[in-house]
Amino acid sequence: MQSMDFENHHWIWDGVYYPHLFGGIMITAAVLGLSTSYFGGIGVPILPYFWPDLGFFQKKKFVKKPVRVYMDGCFDLMHYGHANALRQAKALGDELVVGVVSDEEIIANKGPPVLSMEERLVLVSGLKWVDEVIADAPYAITEKFMNSLFNEHKIDYIIHGDDPCLLPDGTDAYALAKKAGRYKQIKRTEGVSSTDIVGRILSSMRETETGSHSDTSMPEQYQKPNGYQAKESASSGAHTSHFLPTSRRIVQFSNGKGPGPDARVVYIDGAFDLFHAGHVEILKHARQLGDFLLVGIHSDQTVSECRGTHHPIMNLHERSLSVLACRYVDEVIIGAPWAVTKDMITTFNIYLVVRGTVSDSKYPQDGDVDPYAAPKSMGIFRMIESPRDTAAASVAKRIVANHDIYKKRNEKKGESEKRYYAEKKFVYGD
């Protein structure tokens, strides 16, 4: 049983034991505190003035060293599963350093990435839990790189999910970190992966080949014939999601703070499907125009009506979490209306409504109902230049253009996914 420190009559200053010293100090203090006449007029400082000079007895102030954790990944087709992994990693320390695996390493171990290194860096840097980013990280934790993490980057622990990460030769990519006793594990986010998203896009492409509904966002050979009335997009296998949304997850991603009474609330809306670097940069631009950024996420039905029945690729809750994870976003409206009304502007005290010049949604043509009519009439609408021309459709086209490569990669990855779920065990935490 642990004893109480004050029962052993030993006193500690800065880690050094001074047995019975305190009693001696008190006796000396009592003597010094007598009247000066006892010492024949010799002036002796009394205890209150003498005590501050005993500097070596004063407790030193120690600053706690922040715990720095490291997590790496390809982060290709960035999704809420990546974001949740990094959120969990950050919870295991004070500062999160993220390594983004190089294009060359991804090609050698998994096949060609969909997004470039530059795009993946923008996405990772844009997450609210990330403090530092290391570009061109190796796929496997080598001894040289591990020593660099520990010595140069002052990393305390290396983090990875509970799903196995194997090299082409079948060995564990994190074996060295585990051996060093500097490895910690987090729970994998169920229901989504980059492989899964590629599969949804390829399935969506097959849907267009069989003919459902025309869509100009896809290459001509994959467009659907006009006049075909498709079933609800939710009924298509291309849109099947295994994600089980919970209120707890939304709370974990939320900032938990509303705007102040005088805050300049900026509103921007859209589908935000296949969350990409273009989304991050337009949200950053919008946030700089005010004090609080409110983002409207259109419903699956609205996106489907606007872009075609095989859209969106990601469902409403998935898209909402991806946007909430962005460091520039303060709040989202889940299932925002297509039109921005005066009542909505009043309800959320919106100062400015903005829209980027690049979007997957078509801008209203003559005769169409303008969703921004109300903010325009109030003089609070602004078009802002999109920092890049990336859109969800252009990301999907990269996969369509390399159909055979990604199909083969997905088939290989699909086998390891099946093994993971077959051997899956409960892991505490989220």
Crossing angle of helices 392-401 and 194-210, in 10° steps, is 80
pLDDT at 216 over 60: no
Q: Can 68-186 and 246-390 be said to share one CATH topology?
A: yes
User: Residue 271 gets which letter from DSSP?
Assistant: -
Task: Calculate mean pLDDT across residues 282-306.
Answer: 96
d(CA 74, CA 106): 7
Where is pLDDT greater, at 424 or 306? 306
Answer whether residue 155 shows pLDDT above 90. yes
Which of these ranges, 45-59, 149-163, 178-192, has the smallest mean pLDDT?
45-59
> How far, in Å, CA of 114 to CA of 120, rounded?
10
Question: Which fold would CATH assign to domain 68-186?
Answer: Rossmann fold (3.40.50)
Higher pLDDT, 313 or 213: 313
- pLDDT at position 318: 94
Under CATH, which architecture does the 246-390 domain have? 3-Layer(aba) Sandwich (3.40)
Q: If you average pLDDT over each of 64-73, 228-237, 398-407, which comes out highest? A: 64-73
Average pLDDT over residues 278-302: 97
- Would you state the pLDDT for residue 279? 97
The pLDDT-based confidence of 301 (bands split at 50, 70, 90) is very high
Question: What are the start-end ranges of the H helices in 288-356?
Answer: 300-307, 316-324, 342-347
Residues, the chain:
430
**What phi, psi does 70 have (nearest 5°)?**
-125, 135
Q: Could you tell me if 204 and 313 are in contact, meaning their C-beta atoms sit under 8 angstroms apart? A: yes
The yes-or-no verdict on residue 186 having pLDDT over 70 is: yes
> 3-state SS string over 189-226?
CCCCCHHHHHHHHHHHHHHHHHCCCCCCCCCHHHCCCC
428: pLDDT strictly greater than 70: no
In sequence order, which residues have a C-beta less than 8 Å from that of residue 55 and are 6 or more positions away?
A: none
Amino acid 136: pLDDT: 96
Q: How far is CA 182 from CA 36, 71, 157, 362, in A?
A: 63, 12, 5, 51
- Give the number of other Cβ atoms within 10 Å of residue 44's Cβ: 13
Break the chain into its structural domains and give their ranges: 5-57, 68-186, 246-390
Given a contact cutoff of 8 angstroms between Cβ atoms, the answer to whether 400 and 287 are in contact is no
Percentage of residues of the chain with pLDDT beyond 90? 52
Amino acid at 422: A
Give me the pLDDT at residue 197, please.
Answer: 86
What is the rounded distance in angstroms from the CA atom of residue 423 to the CA atom of residue 416?
A: 11
Q: 232 is written with which tokens? A: 């609800």
What would the mean pLDDT of 214-220 be, rounded to a whole number? 39
**C-alpha dist (Å) from residue 267 to 261, 302, 332:** 16, 18, 9
As a whole number, mean pLDDT of residues 277-281 equals: 97
Q: Which two tokens stand for residue 292?
A: 């609080």
* Nearest alpha-carbon partner for 399 in 205, 157, 228, 220: 205
Given a contact cutoff of 8 angstroms between Cβ atoms, the answer to whether 67 and 157 are in contact is: yes
Average pLDDT, the chain: 79
pLDDT in tens, 85-142: 999 999 999 999 999 999 999 998 888 899 999 999 999 999 999 999 999 999 888 9
Report the range of poorest mean pLDDT among 32-41, 145-154, 297-306, 321-330: 32-41
